[in-house]
A and B are shown apart, each in its own frame.
Chain A
C-alpha cells in the first residue's frame, strides 16, 4: 500500500500520460464530495468565495427578476 501511495505521489510530479488519463477519467466520474485532510489544513477560517452573490429574496423566489420587455417598461 505504501508503494502504491509513493507511485501515485510520483505521478503528481512525473505526469505519466497513460496514468493521467486513468486519473482524469475516474475523477471526472465523481464530484468532489469532501476535501482531503491535507486540503482541510490549508483552508483559512475566514474562507474566500468567488461565487457571485445573489440576493436571498431572489433565491427564495419572492421577487421576480426585472422584466425589461417593451410592454412592461414604465
Chain B
C-alpha cells in the first residue's frame, strides 16, 4: 500500500478515533494531519511481518493522541521514544472474537464490561448507572472476566 492508499482507507478511522478523544475540532484536525505526516515519514520503516497496516496506523494514531494529552499537561513529549508497535493480537479478527465472547455473557455482565472498558466509566459509576451496589458490580465484573477468560481458553 502506498501513502495515498493508506490515507484513503484509514482517514475515516483515524478521524473517528481522534474526534472521539479530543473535543476541540481544530486540535482534532491538526492531530489527524499529524498522524498522516508520521505515516508518510515512517512508511519506509513499516514492517508488514510485525503488524497489519491497520494495527500500525492505529498505533501511530494512539501514540499521537497520547502525546497530545501529555503535552497539555506540560510534560516532556515522549514521541521519539514511543514504540510504534501494537500488540500483534490487535486485529479485526480479534475484535470479532471479542464480540463472540461478549455474547456468551449474561446481559448485565456484558453491559458492565462495555460501560467500564469501552465507555471508560469507573466501576462505581457503572454500578450507579446499572442500579446496583458497588460491591455487586465488583462481583459481576470478576465473574465476567472469568467467563471471558474461559471463552478464550476453550479456543
Q: Which residues of A contact B (CB under 8 A)?
A: 1, 3-16, 18-19, 21-23, 26-27, 29-31, 33-34, 36-39, 42
B40 interface residue (CB < 8 Å to A): no
Alpha-carbon gap, A33 to B61, bound state (A): 29
Q: Which of B55, B125, B129, B148 contacts A4 (CB 8 A)?
A: B148
Contacts of B129 in A (CB 8 A): 30-31, 33-34
Q: Which of B16, B103, B113 contacts A15 (CB 8 A)?
A: B16
Cβ-defined contact, A4 with B119, below 8 A: no
Q: Give the interface size class of chain B.
A: 35 or more
Alpha-carbon gap, A27 to B115, bound state (A): 7
B44 interface residue (CB < 8 Å to A): no
B13 interface residue (CB < 8 Å to A): yes
Q: Which residues of B contact A (CB under 8 A)?
A: 13-14, 16-17, 20-24, 54-55, 58, 61-62, 86-87, 89-90, 92, 94-96, 98-100, 102-103, 110-111, 113-115, 117-122, 125, 128-130, 145, 148
Alpha-carbon gap, A10 to B59, bound state (A): 9
For residue B96, give the distance in angstroms from its CB to the closest CB of chain A.
6
Cβ-defined contact, A36 with B119, below 8 A: yes
For the complex, would chain B's binding face be called helix, strand, loop or mixed by DSSP majority?
A: helix
Cβ-defined contact, A22 with B114, below 8 A: yes
Highest count of chain A CB atoms <10 Å: which of B54, B120, B122: B120
Cβ-defined contact, B98 with A7, below 8 A: yes
Known A13-B61, A14-B13, A16-B99; 12 more pairs at CB < 8 Å = A1-B145, A7-B95, A8-B117, A10-B58, A10-B86, A12-B118, A14-B54, A29-B111, A31-B129, A34-B125, A38-B120, A39-B120
For residue A38, give the distance in angstroms from its CB to the closest CB of chain B.
6
Contacts of B14 in A (CB 8 A): 13
Alpha-carbon gap, A13 to B119, bound state (A): 14
| 23 A-B pairs in the complex with CB atoms less than 8 angstroms apart | A3-B87, A4-B117, A4-B145, A8-B114, A9-B62, A10-B58, A12-B16, A12-B118, A13-B58, A15-B16, A16-B92, A16-B95, A16-B96, A19-B95, A19-B102, A30-B115, A31-B129, A33-B129, A34-B128, A36-B120, A36-B121, A42-B22, A42-B24
